[in-house]
A and B are shown apart, each in its own frame.
Chain A
Amino acid sequence: MAYDKFNVLTSTVVPLPTENVDTDQIIPARFLKATEREGFGDNLFRDWRYDVEGNPKKDFVLNDPTYSGKILIAGKNFGSGSSREHAVWAIYDYGFRCVVSSFFADIFKNNCLNIGVLPVTVSAEFAEVIFSAVEADPSTEVEVDIDKQTITLLSTGQSESFDINAYKKENMKNGFDDIDYLLNLREEIVEFEKARR
């Protein structure tokens, strides 16, 4: 579905330095039973965020009022495991528009791009720079500019460029999705399908 256009995002950052965060942690399977897309943010990181009685766990970053923002920065290999797009729906619904990591799992990254959450892959060194800066000063802001393909730590001006293919970049900037593009190829697809019967 169409989503918000993404151009320049300037925001404080929520840090989650844990590595190998799989999509079962982002949204546990027992919360996948909805038949619509709304409301997944309430269960984002459910079992890290709440204890069995449903009380917030004080030591988890989403329960720490010190940190907030539209950018989530996470340890390497973020989003591994299950292909559930619900993980990205939960991230989006919670209010994040950009996820930063030094390494993303493939399907998760595709899912992000398909619903308008920008995955920004940075070097391990730059990820450390951001983690340290945010830890030292939680009001630190980061600017993500999709057109220039840059991510900048505003307090120091340190910046790095990131990859995104031109097609997905245009989609993100305009809030288009792939179906808009594919439906225009209908005749070619019908011909191709016929040949494969």
Chain B
Amino acid sequence: MEKKTLFDKVWDAHVIKSVQDGPDVFFIDKHFIHEVTSPVAFLNLEKRGIGVMFPERTVATPDHNVPTIDQDKTIKDKLSRMQVEKLRENCKNHGIDLHDLGSAHHGIVHVIGPELGITQPGMTIVCGDSHTSTHGAFGAIAFGIGTSEVEMVFATQCIMQSKPKKMRITVEGTLGKGVTSKDIILYIISKISAAGATGYFVEYAGSAIQSLSMEARMTICNMSIEMGARGGLIAPDETTFEYLKGKQYAPIGADWEKAVSEWKELKTDEGATFDMEYNFEAEDIEPMITYGTNPGMGIKVVGNIPTTDGMEGSNKKTYLKSLDYMGFAPGEAIKGKKVDYVFVGSCTNGRIEDIRAVADFVKGKKKADNITAWIVPGSREVEKLAHEEGLVKILEEAGFELRQPGCSACLAMNDDKIPAGKYAVSTSNRNFEGRQGPGARTMLASPLTVAAVAVTGEICDPREVF
């Protein structure tokens, strides 16, 4: 029998037809939408005079532009308000489930999908957002699409896609103290670069990956796009099933048993081949931080910013432009750099486990005076748990400001912007120029490192702060 990878198994099961010398007609099980990348798709449907083919396969929530304070009031920003109102109107007209602002399951689309058990192994999932790769943690093929493709899914539940090449990244061993899944993925991206997996779909494997919780696996799959990969996935196992069991949209009773037995088949066959393989050792990974303007520009917090040795031409120019933006010099240590803001949140690290890690670290401590600390839960459910578990009290006593759920300062579409020239250490996913506000300087790190930075006021090693 043909040896197949996990990715092959899920992909091949969703191809309705292959176009000769062209893409596959690829069926989509679940479609997530939000207010920013869907309105033009709905508008074009109307222009064509067609509707949504399978509205029950689409789930909506407003997350990108929403304010994180006073969510019960009318949105002040006119354009944001219009986008959210348009989403409501479109969902109503087309019979799409909407988890609206203020409702029990409102939140970042990539946080609520798994939380509700909508995301399941073996599915194909798309959304007009590149961090859709998050859902790959469940052994689903999940990736971001453009608005034209959002329109295709509305109209036909399919998109035209050429099958990407396959890459496996194996991380073996045991993570050291103070090292988290965020450090694993920042380490991988720093090794293979921000474009190193372009054209590929990644499977993450190995004992270090298998040892992770679902939340931690989501952090890894989430950032697959930051090395150019269309997505990343992890074979489902007992951890996956345990997480899903009892979730609102998870199968129940006999259906659950049947689903689990099918999901257990979702793994790469022994002897199946990949187009590219990387192997890393967990013991080599230390707490990481980025120093530049793409997520591949990462070093260990105790490391030095690379020099320009061996660089030339546009490569060197681009590198120096990036360091100039950040206000850093080649060769200098990153540790000890003063920081102005910390941000805990986003679809990368805005889940309950992340909030717990930060609260656990800052308990009984105070943030440094020079730090403004924002903590934005990924969903209403996360917010609720944080209150119930007493985490909010701990965080507020430490001087953190707790906001309401949304994408927030990860992309600063709302008012949560880092001022120009200021340094933010952030649990989010992108350190691009201006990502957190025009002129903002972003350094990406784990929730643990961010918590330590909040306390010391400067870049530090979380293993040295107690």
Q: Report A's interface with B, CB cutoff 8 A.
A: 1, 17-20, 22, 24-25, 28-30, 32-37, 47, 52, 75-77, 80-86, 88, 103-107, 110-111, 114-115, 165-168, 177-179, 181-183, 185-186, 188-189, 192-193, 196
A139 to chain B, nearest CB (A): 23
Given contacts A22-B432, A85-B146, A114-B149, contact A179 B438 (CB under 8 A): no
A24 in complex: contacting residue of B22, B47, B430, CB < 8 Å: B430
B199 within 8 A of A: yes
Given contacts A167-B21, A178-B152, contact A17 B29 (CB under 8 A): no
Which of A52, A80, A111 neighbours the largest number of chain B CB atoms within 10 Å of its CB?
A: A80
A107 in complex: contacting residue of B80, B146, B294, CB < 8 Å: B146
Kindly state the separation between the CA atoms of A30 and B77 in the bound complex, as whole angstroms.
Answer: 11
Interface membership of chain B positions 12-46, coded 1 if the CB is closer than 8 angstroms to chain A and 0 otherwise: 00001101111101010100000011011001100
B49 to chain A, nearest CB (A): 11
Q: Do A107 and B230 touch across chains, with their CB atoms under 8 A apart?
A: yes
Within 8 A of A (CB), among B39-89: 39-40, 43-44, 47-48, 50, 53-54, 64-65, 77, 79-80, 82-83, 86
Across the interface, which residues of A come within 8 angstroms of B129, CB to CB? 82-83
Q: How large is the interface on B (under 10, 10 to 19, 20 to 34, 35 or more residues)?
A: 35 or more
Q: Do A83 and B146 touch across chains, with their CB atoms under 8 A apart?
A: yes
Q: Do B21 and A165 touch across chains, with their CB atoms under 8 A apart?
A: yes
Q: Do B146 and A88 touch across chains, with their CB atoms under 8 A apart?
A: yes
Across the interface, which residues of A come within 8 angstroms of B37, CB to CB? 83-85
Kindly state the separation between the CA atoms of A29 and B413 in the bound complex, as whole angstroms.
Answer: 6
Q: Do B156 and A186 touch across chains, with their CB atoms under 8 A apart?
A: yes
Across the interface, which residues of B come within 8 angstroms of A20, CB to CB? 194-195, 293-294, 318
Residue in A closest to B50 when the chains form the complex, CB atoms = A183
Q: Do B17 and A35 touch across chains, with their CB atoms under 8 A apart?
A: no
Q: Do B317 and A85 touch across chains, with their CB atoms under 8 A apart?
A: no
Q: Do B40 and A35 touch across chains, with their CB atoms under 8 A apart?
A: yes
A189 in complex: contacting residue of B20, B53, B83, B143, CB < 8 Å: B53
Kindly state the separation between the CA atoms of A179 and B25 in the bound complex, as whole angstroms.
Answer: 11
Q: Do B412 and A83 touch across chains, with their CB atoms under 8 A apart?
A: no
Residue in A closest to B124 when the chains form the complex, CB atoms = A196
